Amino acid sequence: SFDTKTHPPPTHTHTHTPSSSPRRHLSQWRAEMEWSLESVREMVAGGMQSVRECEICAFAIAMCVLLLFMWYCYRVGREHGTRKHGSLLEEQNGFAFCQSSECFRCTSAGESLNQRLYHSLQEYAKRYTWSGMGRVHKGVRDQGRYLNSRPTIQRPEVFFLPDLHSAPFFSREVQRHDVELLEQSFPALLAEFESIYHQPPARSGSSLPPGWKANSTPRGQWWTYYLVNQGTPLVLNVRRCPRAWRVLGQLRTFIANNVFGNACFSVLTPGALITEHYGPTNVRLRCHLGLRVPPSCELVVGGEPQCWSEGSCLLFDDSFLHRAFHDGNPEDGPRVVFMVDLWHPNVAAAERQALDYIFTPGRLEDREGK
């Protein structure tokens, strides 16, 4: 027989940890929320109190910011208004000096300009026609080669039109109508010069009347009063010279709305020298009408000297190396001419139209900024 032992059933001990009751959880959550909301209220109240305490200081700061913004807008507006007249002028001791990197007279041509010229010519041809564009196309396409291979006596700085008759001086007969009109207007132009030249200085510390510009010279003074500067009329100057502006409007070959076109009164004081330099292109003739011509004044173009004469016009190609000087005595007074840029007589009408389109003021500048 088997011994049978009775084993008691195993006893399982369950350890039971009593959990927090739902009411206790809820009370804790409410307490935390109340603390959080109270903290937010305290921070907001503190911030508002700080704002109230610093109200005067904040108002002063806001006013300073507003004044600075107004000053900035004023300066930007002045600079923009000055650039619209063709070049940015900087006043130094009452004299205005050109500082614009886009000034065609003061910068030389480069590969970037050649590319912009070609794109502008293509735009013109698409809009109008290629007819009559042979020389212009040839000049634009090979501009770099033409400018670099020119002899030192004639080297335009910006644009050279090939196969164009060249000479330092031209006969008055090549632009007879405009030359005669200018010479007939001599009394009116001289009187208008006198009216603008003898005005009081533009401001204290300046030796120049309003509208006049001082140019760089190694000795003496060279002053200009532009009515049109690189194809852009100077409105204030034009208003002071209504008769001169009327004469410009009657000229048949005046280069208008083109960066190669200028019109101004030009003054050389005794002892002044304009050093040798080249003009920007050979497509124009520069015309000087003598208004006041004392002794010992001379213009040298391509090595050939000429003298001005009061009431007469002198035509020359300023793409040739040229200089001017006034070696007279102080009692002789200044040399004064009225200067205008006329089309070269051998530039055809279709070519003029295309060049006006390509060299419209601002066109090449806008393209460079794109």
DSSP string over 262-311? -EEEEEE-TT-EEEEE--SBSSEEEEEEEEE--SSEEEEETTEEE---TT
What is the DSSP annotation of 139-193?
HHHTHHHHHHHS-TTB--SSB--SS----SEE-GGGGHHHHHHHHHTHHHHHHHH
Query: What pLDDT shows up at residue 24?
Result: 62
Most confidently modeled range among 17-31, 199-213, 343-357: 343-357
Query: What pLDDT shows up at residue 290?
Result: 98
Kindly state the tokens that stand for 159.
């644009």
Query: What pLDDT shows up at residue 69?
Result: 81
Residue 165 lies in a domain: yes
Query: What pLDDT shows up at residue 200?
Result: 86
Residue 248 lies in a domain: yes
Model pLDDT for residues 275-327, shown as the tens digit of each residue: 999 999 999 999 999 999 999 999 999 999 999 999 999 999 999 999 999 99
Euclidean distance between CA atoms 29 and 22, whole angstroms: 11
Kindly state the tokens that stand for 142.
């090979």
Average pLDDT over residues 103-125: 74
Query: What pLDDT shows up at residue 30?
Result: 61
Output the domain CATH number for residue 268: 2.60.120.330
pLDDT of residue 328 exceeding 90, the answer is: yes
Residue 153 lies in a domain: yes
Beta strands 222-229 and 263-268, pairing class: antiparallel
Q: Please, which pLDDT band fits residue 80 given cuts at 50, 70 and 90?
A: very low
Closest CA to 268 of 334, 338, 350: 334
Average pLDDT over residues 73-99: 45
Q: Please, which pLDDT band fits residue 150 given cuts at 50, 70 and 90?
A: confident
Residue 264 lies in a domain: yes
Q: What angle do CA 93, 95, 272 make, to 5 degrees?
A: 115
The larger pLDDT score, comparing residue 141 to residue 233, is at: 233
Closest CA to 133 of 166, 101, 112, 162: 162
pLDDT of residue 143 exceeding 90, the answer is: no
Provide, rounded to the nearest whole percent, the portion of the chain with pLDDT above 70: 74
Query: What pLDDT shows up at residue 53?
Result: 64
Residue with tokens 């002063």: 60
Q: How far apart are the first and last CA of the chain?
A: 115
Task: Name the DSSP class of 234.
Answer: -
Residue 75 lies in a domain: no
What's the domain count of the chain? Answer: 1
pLDDT of residue 159 exceeding 70, the answer is: yes
Average pLDDT over residues 152-165: 92
Residue 27 lies in a domain: no
Query: What pLDDT shows up at residue 160?
Result: 93
The larger pLDDT score, comparing residue 204 to residue 336, is at: 336
pLDDT of residue 263 exceeding 80, the answer is: yes
CB atoms within 10 A of CB 217: 18
**Across-strand partners of 320?**
154
Which range has the worst mean pLDDT, 32-46, 50-64, 99-113, 119-133? 99-113
Euclidean distance between CA atoms 248 and 40, whole angstroms: 77
Model pLDDT for residues 161-193, shown as the tens digit of each residue: 999 999 999 999 999 999 999 999 999 999 999
Residue 128 lies in a domain: yes
Average pLDDT over residues 20-24: 59
Range of the domain at 321: 111-200+207-363
Euclidean distance between CA atoms 357 and 204, whole angstroms: 42
Query: What pLDDT shows up at residue 90?
Result: 37
Residue with tokens 């290629």: 130
Euclidean distance between CA atoms 190 and 265, whole angstroms: 10
Residue 22 lies in a domain: no
